Amino acid sequence: MRPLRLALTKGRLEKNTLALLESAGFDCTALREKGRRLVLPVGDALEIVLTKAADAVTYVEHGVCDLGVVGKDTILESDGHFYEILDLGFGRCRFALAAPKGTDFFSGYAEKTVATKYPNVTRRYFDAKGMDVRIVKIEGSVELAPLLGLSDGIVDIVETGETLRENGLCPIEDVAQISARLIVNTASLKLRKKEIETFADRLEAAVKKQEGEK
């Protein structure tokens, strides 16, 4: 049987995951010296595939990767079908609704326009509020949209709130909390239960250890 395959979101989550795997006792030499390779062995029993966030979800959903490390933001936007078994504790931030300083986003009955990179998250959030808003999908810096007068507010990932402040926006309400998660393909968890549970337990112990150190 092939080794367990883990789709890992490139970039910041990759570094944190690497640290977590090493703290859990995995040999990540190949990952540290990866060069341009995208599929990397970690010991005999694990293989890591480096992907973009949304692709990690796709690979796991189709079962070509058994496991994935992705941000909750990607999970919420993807609406996919898989198991989400562990909060890895890092990559913490939040989805928030923000609007230009001094404006009252919720006032009045006129239709509001919201710019976002995450239309599904935004749609669900306003549906739950019973509000009918116009959603505009923006690919780059979402903060521009209200500055240029395209939207009344934005729904975006907020870490420190610095970018918002510098662009004259202020957070109004949290939409959801975000952190990195370990996701598992539904069939894989059933077919390779022991291996996956052992792996998840080792990561969970490492997460607890790291949280203890903080």
3-state secondary structure of 160: coil
90 residue type, one letter: F
Indicate whether 6 belongs to the interface with other proteins (CB under 8 A): no
Q: How many residues does the chain have?
A: 214
Residues numbered 48-107 forming contacts with other proteins, rule: CB under 8 A: 58, 61-64, 79, 81-87
Alpha-carbon torsion 152, 154, 160, 163, what sign?
negative
Q: Could you tell me which of 96, 108, 109 has the C-alpha nearest to residue 142?
A: 96
Looking at beta carbons only, is 131 or 187 nearer to other proteins? Answer: 187
- Sole binder of other proteins in the list 45, 131, 191, 205 (CB under 8 A): 191
Strands 153-158 and 112-116: parallel
Indicate whether 185 belongs to the interface with other proteins (CB under 8 A): yes
| Distance of closest approach, residue 37 Cβ to other proteins, in angstroms | 24
Indicate whether 118 belongs to the interface with other proteins (CB under 8 A): no
| Distance of closest approach, residue 6 Cβ to other proteins, in angstroms | 15
Indicate whether 189 belongs to the interface with other proteins (CB under 8 A): yes
Q: Could you tell me which of 32, 171, 38 has the C-alpha nearest to residue 101?
A: 171
CA angle 140, 143, 146 (to 5 degrees): 120
From residue 12 to residue 51, what is the string marking binding to other proteins with x (rule CB under 8 A)?
----------------------------------------
Indicate whether 211 belongs to the interface with other proteins (CB under 8 A): no
| Distance of closest approach, residue 174 Cβ to other proteins, in angstroms | 14
Q: 19: which residues sit within 8 A by CB, 6+ positions away?
A: 210
Looking at beta carbons only, is 80 or 161 nearer to other proteins? Answer: 80
Contact 206, 69 (CB under 8 A): no
Looking at beta carbons only, is 50 or 180 nearer to other proteins? Answer: 180
Number of Cβ within a 10 Å radius of residue 127:
11
Indicate whether 187 belongs to the interface with other proteins (CB under 8 A): yes
Q: 213: which residues sit within 8 A by CB, 6+ positions away?
A: none
Indicate whether 157 belongs to the interface with other proteins (CB under 8 A): no
Binding site for other proteins (CB under 8 A): 58, 61-64, 79, 81-87, 181, 184-191, 193
